[in-house]
Amino acid sequence: MSPATQPSPRRALLSVYDKEGIVDLARGLVDLGWDLVSSGGTASLLAGEGIPVIEVAEITRMTEMLGGRVKTLHPMVHGGILADRSDPSHVHDLRERGITPIDLVVGNLYSFSSDPGIELIDIGGPTMVRAAAKNHAHVGVVVDPADYDGLLAELRADGALSDATRHQLARAAFAHTAAYDAAIVQWFDGPDSGGPDADGSDASDPDPLKPSMHLALERVQDLRYGENPHQVGARYRTVGSSGWWDTAVVHGGKAMSYLNLFDTEAAWRLVHALGDPGVTAGADEPTAVVIKHANPCGAAVGADIAEAYVAAHECDPVSAFGGIVAVNRPVTLAMAESLSTVFTEVVVAPDYESDALAHLQQKANLRILEAEAPTWPELDVRVIDGGLLVQTADRLVAEPSQWQVVTEREPTVGEWADLVFAWRVAARVNSNTIVLAKGLRAVGIGAGQQNRRDAGRIAADKAAGRAAGGACASDAFFPFRDGLDAAAEAGASAVVQPGGSMRDDEVIAAANEQGMAMVFTGERHFRH
């Protein structure tokens, strides 16, 4: 609507929970000749700042009621917002009832996610915002304080908001209310909503997969490109939450691509999953992993982080070229000097010693990330035609006390440590997988093969004899004894696998023939 056809004076309705910037916006609107209507805390704030404001109660001729639950839910308000100014019957209705049109709605909703509860389920706010967004052909709506300056700038320059601006703001408004409703549904699905499971006494419906999913995501990072340069990519974040990517400090390097994030996420999770690698090692030992195409090509525990990194790299130096390195200790100069001789895309660590950071920053293209520990998602989600494929996340519990020794010989203390370590690595490798480990170091990893024999062959080839006296982990059972025989040929003296094959007895017999120790975990870890 052009300034010439705009009703004068124009009217704005301001009702916000987040009051950041609202005073400056209100002053700017008043300076442009706008009338302001408000209620509750927003009206009190503006009046206290000496800004002229009309109380909603003056328009509705009704005071707030029900403890503030009903303030703006009234035809005098919503008629002014929803009227189609191009429809003569709407204009007639406004005049007949003495309703002044509202040209701008500025509103944001109760911060439900911060302290969820019944009283923070906003009713009037979403209703006003949705009404204004629906009628965006005539009404502007703003839900984000970050948009206030742009709004004022356009009004000062042009006297009115353009069709494109109102359309863009309406889209943001519907996204705002959609995210709000998604948060409420998520709360209803949880144990603290006051429902039948609120006291934890009713476990009759433990299903974590609810009847519907409501995802509200916001784009927070544009990427250099997608999986390939001809694809575009971005990182989205769940509205109202954050992850380690949001707090990570980038100390240098090029912009991140889709695969940089994907592989770095895999590396950061794996290095934390290996923090307590075995029964003979203390918790949170210095640990390093090298990731390529989301699979580890090296993982190791060391006396210090430099030793751990060198050992992880030695597992498969060829595959480590152009890989992602993650460590669970501050990067030292000794580690930085070793890493800087290898082409590496990303290094992520909890911290960096100053001289180590300076050394790494000499590599202009190396992305250097300092990050907090990751959290573990409840659900694993993948896209399929027409929807999503959803499952509970694979939680690894590497607890030897729950495993079953099925051979005549029990593992030695050292073998137990390597079995746990190899099992933890195998659970994070694409299936089919075989992992060979010795001395809390992966020495051969066979990943993503269509059959287990090929995975074992690849792992043995990469180990090149270094698995002698070590452990072999298989993410699923050996369907035939040939897999066990291959582990023995690679030099492994102990095996960990889920068990459950029809030929378990044959595989156990083969292990006994070889003098090997073997344990069943009772749980497989396929990863596709």
Q: How far apart are CA 471 and CA 403, in angstroms?
A: 15
For residue 108, with 0-12 CB atoms within 10 Å meaning exposed, 13-18 middle and 19 or more buried, which class applies?
A: buried
Closest by CA position to 64, among listed 123, 143, 142, 135: 123
For residue 27, with 0-12 CB atoms within 10 Å meaning exposed, 13-18 middle and 19 or more buried, which class applies?
A: middle
Q: Are residues 478 and 496 in contact, defined by beta-carbon separation less than 8 angstroms?
A: no
Write down the catalytic residue from 19, 134, 214, 363.
134
CA quadruple 337, 338, 344, 347: dihedral, nearest 10: -70
Q: How far apart are CA 508 and CA 489, in angstroms?
A: 16
| Residue 394, CA atoms < 13 Å, CB-side half-sphere | 18
Strand partners, 13: 37, 105
And the tokens for 496? Answer: 């960990």
Closest by CA position to 29, among listed 175, 142, 177, 133: 142
Q: Are residues 517 and 484 in contact, defined by beta-carbon separation less than 8 angstroms?
A: no
Write down the catalytic residue from 19, 210, 251, 293.
293
Beta strand spans in 247-304 (E) = 249-252, 287-292, 295-301
Closest by CA position to 239, among listed 339, 335, 112: 112
Position of tokens 């499952």?
Answer: 391
| Residue 479, CA atoms < 13 Å, CB-side half-sphere | 4
Q: Are residues 438 and 311 in contact, defined by beta-carbon separation less than 8 angstroms?
A: no
Range 408-444 burial, b when 16+ CB lie within 10 A, else e: ebebeebbbbbbbbbbbbbbbbbbbbbbbbbbbbbbb
State yes or no: is 254 an active-site residue.
Answer: no
Closest by CA position to 439, among listed 318, 301, 333, 309: 301
State yes or no: is 134 an active-site residue.
Answer: yes
CA quadruple 456, 458, 464, 465: dihedral, nearest 10: 0
- Helical ranges in 49-162 per DSSP H: 56-60, 75-82, 88-97, 124-134, 148-158
Active site residues: 134, 293
